[in-house]
């Protein structure tokens, strides 16, 4: 066999898999390291998927560089209350959410009352969240209250990460300026907080926190107004740690959000990067995990959830977005993959 006559797709020490007559996606690279059967099947399926997409004008699969976990929510990837992480080792546990049709094949519907998915603590991913990506397809029309797309919050603010919807609180009257009056304001709202605070509709709030020193907490929150709760499917991508150089040549780290491919920079910081550690608590999807308690349940449908240990670029976000839009072609991928897994 003459190696130059083939396109090399996978090269792992002595194991080589070749794609015959198929052009690989641009920016492809050899995969080196431990290959589990799950990853091997997934990569082989990508090879077949490239052929499928090429007949429909698409030549690239989803981005896999830096991919940590991928929950398709396709029906063949759900067994009882277990949803398989088809790329990594973080199989989730479904609590109440039910299977429905999604943007790409199957998805999960959350009732806004007590449904969520326990995605585990994601191993050591928490220590990498400072340079990371969360990606999902989301559909909701609920805007009556503060809800959470996903979140984890550890004890003593050791770590926290998530996205809230409608999550920007505006008081029903102007806040007083004196500190004593501010304290009085928060005491007076007491247990009726939800009734006395007007939650801003159609605001997406990004949340990231970690402990600084022994007792201090660093909270980073930023929001963007967008009509996310319009009953339509939206592709949402949250990136942390994007390198940015300003006009003066100073280097920054940027937090940004992409919605349907549209990018919005939300915050920047420079200096010593924050120190992140693995999550102690599991990450909840469809609710917030506030120190072990589920809260702010999401009302809607979630599909195609992926996390990466690096921030995706604009081109990579567009690549995943366009594949999600090509529903007819994309739906064939899980079917082929499911057939392979039964062999």
pLDDT at 214: 65
CATH number at residue 259: 2.60.120.200
**173 is a domain residue:** no
- Please indicate, yes or no, if residue 229 is contained in any of the structural domains: yes
Give me the residue label for tokens 């082989």. 44
Are 252 and 314 found together in one domain? yes
Is residue 329 very low, low, confident or very high in pLDDT (cuts 50, 70, 90)? very low
Tell me what pLDDT residue 190 has: 36
* Beta strand 288-290 pairing with 147-153: parallel
The residue with tokens 């981005």 is 63
189 domain residue, yes or no:
no
Rounded to an integer, the average pLDDT of 207-216 is 74
Fill in the DSSP letter of residue 81: T
Q: Both tokens of residue 199? A: 């939650």
Residue 245 lies in a domain: yes
Average pLDDT over residues 47-63: 57
Give the pLDDT of residue 207. Answer: 86
> Mind listing the pLDDT tens digit for each residue in 128-164?
999 999 999 999 999 888 899 999 998 877 789 999 9
- 3 pLDDT above the threshold of 60: no
More confident residue, 220 or 227: 227
pLDDT value of position 298:
98
Residue with the bigger pLDDT between 90 and 52: it is 90
pLDDT of amino acid 48: 55
Nearest by Cα to 310 from 60, 67, 127, 123 = 67
Domain that holds residue 73: 67-166+201-322
Nearest to 70 by CA among 306, 258, 264, 313: 306
Question: What pLDDT score does 337 carry?
Answer: 45
User: Domain tally for the chain?
Assistant: 2
pLDDT at 184: 35
Q: Give the tens place of pLDDT for each residue, 265-289.
A: 988 888 777 889 999 999 999 999 9
User: Of 341 and 232, which is predicted with more confidence?
Assistant: 232
Same domain, 23 and 160: no
Pair 152, 128 in one domain: yes
Residue 229 CA neighbour count, 13 Å, CB half:
22
Claim to verify: residue 34 and residue 132 sit in the same structural domain: no
3-state secondary structure of 158: coil
> How many residues in total does the chain contain?
343
Same domain, 74 and 124: yes
139 shares its domain with 100: yes
- Tell whether the model's pLDDT for residue 187 goes beyond 50: no
Residue 75 lies in a domain: yes
Percent above pLDDT 70 for the chain? 66
CA distance 286 to 97: 9
Q: In which band, very low, low, confident or very high, does the pLDDT at 228 lie, cut at 50, 70 and 90?
A: very high
Are 54 and 135 contained in the same domain?
no
Summarised one tens digit per residue, pLDDT across range 62-110 is 999 999 999 999 999 999 999 999 999 999 999 999 999 999 999 999 9
Do 153 and 257 reside in the same domain of the chain? yes
- Give the mean model confidence (pLDDT) for residues 53-59: 45
Give the pTM.
0.74
Residue 188 lies in a domain: no
12 and 94 in a common domain? no
Residue 28 is assigned to a structural domain of this protein? yes
306 and 237, same structural domain?
A: yes
181 lies in some domain: no
Give 333's pLDDT tier (boundaries 50, 70, 90): low
Inform me whether the pLDDT recorded for 5 exceeds 90.
Answer: no
Shared-domain flag, residues 134 and 77: yes
Say yes or no: 73 and 54 in one domain. no
pLDDT score of 262 more than 90: yes
Burial annotation 187-197 (CB, 10 A radius, 16+ → b, else e): eeeeeeeeeee
User: Model confidence at 196, in pLDDT bands (50, 70, 90)?
Assistant: very low
299 against 341, higher pLDDT: 299
Average pLDDT of span 285-310? 97
The pLDDT, as a whole number, for residue 134 is 99
> Who has greater pLDDT, 225 or 46?
225
């Amino acid at each position: 066999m003459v190696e130059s006559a083939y396109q090399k797709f996978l090269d792992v020490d002595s194991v080589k898999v070749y794609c015959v007559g198929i052009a690989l996606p641009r920016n492809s690279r050899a995969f080196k390291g431990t290959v589990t059967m799950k990853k091997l099947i997934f990569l082989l399926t990508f090879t077949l998927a490239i052929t499928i997409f090429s007949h429909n004008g698409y030549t690239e699969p989803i981005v896999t560089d830096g991919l940590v976990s991928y929950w398709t929510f396709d029906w063949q990837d759900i067994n009882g209350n277990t949803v398989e992480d088809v790329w990594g080792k973080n199989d989730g546990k479904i609590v109440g959410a039910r299977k429905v049709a999604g943007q790409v094949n199957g998805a999960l519907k959350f009732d806004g009352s007590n449904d969520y998915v326990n995605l585990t603590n994601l191993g050591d991913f928490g220590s990498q969240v400072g340079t990371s990506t969360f990606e999902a397809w989301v559909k909701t029309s609920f805007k009556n209250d503060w809800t959470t797309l996903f979140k984890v919050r550890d004890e003593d603010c050791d770590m926290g990460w998530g996205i809230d919807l409608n999550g920007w609180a505006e008081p029903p009257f102007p806040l007083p300026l004196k500190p004593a009056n501010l304290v009085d304001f928060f005491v007076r709202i007491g247990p009726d907080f939800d009734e006395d605070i007007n939650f801003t509709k159609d605001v997406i709030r990004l949340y990231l926190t970690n402990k600084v020193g022994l007792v201090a907490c660093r909270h980073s929150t930023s929001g963007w107004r967008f009509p996310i709760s319009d009953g339509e499917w939206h592709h949402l991508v949250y990136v942390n740690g994007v390198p940015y150089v300003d006009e003066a040549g100073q280097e920054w780290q940027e937090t940004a959000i992409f919605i349907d491919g549209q990018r919005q920079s939300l915050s920047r910081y420079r200096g010593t990067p924050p120190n992140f550690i693995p999550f102690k608590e599991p990450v909840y999807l469809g609710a917030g995990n506030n120190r072990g308690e589920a809260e702010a349940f999401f009302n809607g449908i979630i599909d195609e959830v992926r996390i990466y240990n690096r921030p995706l670029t604009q081109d990579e976000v567009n690549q995943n977005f366009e594949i999600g839009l090509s529903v007819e072609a994309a739906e064939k991928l899980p079917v082929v993959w499911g057939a392979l897994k039964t062999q």
